[in-house]
Amino acid sequence: MIQTIGTAVAVFAGTNVDDIILLTVLFLTSRAGGVPRPWQIVAGQYTGIAALVAVSAVAALGLAVLPDRWVGLLGLVPFGMGVWGLVRAGRGGDGETSRVASGLLSIAGVTVANGADNISVYTPLFRTIGPAASALTMAVFALLVAVWCAAASWLGSHRKIIELVERTGAWLVPVVFMIIGVVIAAESIFR
């Protein structure tokens, strides 16, 4: 159980580092202009993450026909995304551009649009850990959405922290993706 919780925390953090930046900007916008309202930001994030988890869980069920050792190859997807992110960062490519979102549905939409990486990581994870561990992982994700929103609200009031996250995000997010990819592949191989 402790290992499942630890894995869930690491996977959520790794796939949602970019959401911290987005949420922080949304909370800054809310403080500056009153739109979106904080409850819309939180509800939109929950709605978006719930949609990503649902799609991943359904996709994981579809993978049930594959042997576990082949599912581990899906770890190459987040690993490759991490490598590509490092290449882009090395070339000076731009990071994620945050889109202006003004309500619950638009925030949920931005979360989903920003979540291809989540699906590519959650799907093989749910496929390899089984139903009980998947349910626990989803509960941890639900708790961490609240933590993410609280952290982003706090960060949204500290400009120097935002600048630090913006500077390190170009290489930090890709490295985390590469680690997640290796973990997915390793869990499948050593199972």
Q: Is the dihedral of CA 183, 64, 85, 154 positive or negative?
A: negative
The arithmetic mean of pLDDT across residues 59-84, rounded, is 72
**pLDDT confidence of 87, banded at 50, 70, 90?**
confident
> What mean pLDDT comes out for the span 93-101?
46
Rounded Cα distance, 38 and 95, in Å: 25
Check residue 127 and give left, alpha or beta (phi > 0: left; psi -120 to 50: alpha): alpha
Question: Tens digit of pLDDT for each residue in 116-140?
Answer: 778 888 998 998 898 999 999 999 9
Interatomic CA distance for residues 65 and 84, integer angstroms: 30
DSSP state at residue 66: S
**Is the per-residue pLDDT at 13 higher than 90?**
yes
Mean pLDDT of 52-75: 76
Q: Which residue has the tokens 């911290």?
A: 20
Q: How is the chain split into domains, by residue range? A: 2-189
pLDDT at 32 over 90: no
Q: Is the pLDDT of residue 152 over 60?
A: yes
The model carries a pTM of 0.70
Q: Are 52 and 122 spatial neighbours (Cβ–Cβ below 8 Å)?
A: yes
Where helices occur in the chain by DSSP H, the ranges are 2-15, 17-33, 38-62, 68-71, 76-90, 104-113, 116-155, 159-189
